[in-house]
Amino acid sequence: MEKIKDLAKIIDHTNIKKGAKKEDILKTCQQAKKYGFRGVCVRLEWVKLVSKELKGTPIKTIALIDPPIGDSPHQKRIKMCQRAKKDGADELDVVMNIVNAKHERWEKILKDLKEICKILPTKVIIGSGYLTDKEIIKASQIAKKAGAFCVKTATEKDPLEHRELKEKFYHLKLMKKAAPGLLIKASGGIRNLKDAKEAIKAGADIIGTSSGVKIIKELKRKK
- Residues involved in catalysis: 93, 152, 185
- Looking at the DSSP bridge assignments, the partners of residue 152 are 125, 185
What is the spatial distance between Cα 17 and Cα 131, in angstroms, rounded to a whole number?
24
Contact 130, 152 (CB under 8 A): no
Give, in order, the Cα–Cα distances in Å from 96 to each of 23, 104, 194. Answer: 30, 12, 29
Is residue 143 within a helix (H) or strand (E), and if so which, with residue range? helix 133-146
As beta bridge partners, residue 208 has: 12, 187
Nearest to 131 by CA among 143, 120, 119, 122: 143
- Asked if residue 84 lies in contact with residue 94, where contact means CB atoms within 8 angstroms, the answer is no
CB 149 within 8 A of CB 181: no
